[in-house]
A = this chain, B = another copy of it.
């Protein structure tokens, strides 16, 4: 259920808070404060006003707000004591299906983090792969208190921006999604490579987990983006192109075994709200790739 920005702009405070208050975890006071600032000319400025209220809050209020967030992959989440939004977000990156060892590891990191900073580790999980969350955890454990408070508020910014964008429709939507696409050109034939099978993997702990198996269409692209309609999770990926099969099906000499068979392209995503285009130009004896646009 989404609500229009125009409707929000006309709501009395209680309805306004009921509509969007829970974008900020257990903090209806954020919506209460910004109600007076209506009307908002864009969804982006609505969200900016809400973040402004958080940033203007006294330090104690900010800390209380941060402390109201559940542990990442923590006992509360396992026990079902978190908000629906939190549960869905954590599930999106597989944090709801950790092995007992992984669960213990996350809990140890959580404990070390809370011992140092006195609030739980907060990260916008929809912007990260599981590996990237672990790396963030380790990096941020090294921060000093002031730097880490800023880092935690920046993650709140990402989390709530996604929630607001999911709840409210209207002018000036914030840019919250990225896209990953590919394109295969058969430069031996001077044409798109049609019908080439592609596998797409995410690296988790040094191992490649297959996310998608697809095939190129008549334009050498995939009908759907490899990732789209959501933030691109920051992390390491690999595309595998079945180049050998493509040329074998066309009867092209390529050696036996073929010089190129499965062509892997390993790359990382560093910006979650951006378009990454990773094409392949190939012959049976050569290929190239690049970050395109």
Which residues does chain B contribute within 8 Å of A293, judged by CB atoms?
183, 185, 191-192, 219-220
Interface residues of A in 38-91 (CB under 8 A from B): none
Q: Which of B258, B261, B268, B286 contacts A289 (CB 8 A)?
A: B286
Q: Kindly state whether residue A189 has any CB partner on chain B within 8 Å.
A: yes
**Are A190 and B264 in contact, with the CB atoms below 8 A?**
no
**Are A290 and B187 in contact, with the CB atoms below 8 A?**
yes
Which residues does chain B contribute within 8 Å of A291, judged by CB atoms?
187, 190-191, 259, 285-286
Q: Report the separation of the CA atoms of residues A59 and B281 in the bound assembly, to the nearest whole angstrom.
A: 50
Interface residue ranges, A against B (CB under 8 Å): 132, 183, 185, 187-192, 219-220, 234-236, 254-264, 266-268, 270-271, 281, 283-293
Which residues does chain B contribute within 8 Å of A185, judged by CB atoms?
286, 290, 292-293
Which residues does chain B contribute within 8 Å of A256, judged by CB atoms?
270
Q: Report the separation of the CA atoms of residues A259 and B185 in the bound assembly, to the nearest whole angstrom.
A: 16
Measured CB to CB, the closest approach of chain B to A192, in angstroms, equals 5
Q: Which of B268, B289, B292 contacts A257 (CB 8 A)?
A: B268
Which residues does chain B contribute within 8 Å of A259, judged by CB atoms?
190, 267-268, 270, 291
Q: Report the separation of the CA atoms of residues A258 and B291 in the bound assembly, to the nearest whole angstrom.
A: 12
Which among A189, A254, A289, A293 has the highest number of chain B CB atoms within 10 Å?
Answer: A293
**Are B271 and A255 in contact, with the CB atoms below 8 A?**
yes
Q: Report the separation of the CA atoms of residues A223 and B255 in the bound assembly, to the nearest whole angstrom.
A: 28
Measured CB to CB, the closest approach of chain B to A222, in angstroms, equals 14
Closest to A191 in B: B293
A-B contact list, 6 entries, CB within 8 Å: A187-B286, A188-B283, A189-B285, A191-B293, A281-B290, A287-B289
**5 extra A-B contacts, CB within 8 A, seeds A185-B292, A255-B270, A259-B270:** A190-B254, A219-B293, A234-B257, A255-B271, A285-B290
Closest to A186 in B: B285
**Are B285 and A288 in contact, with the CB atoms below 8 A?**
no
Closest to A220 in B: B293
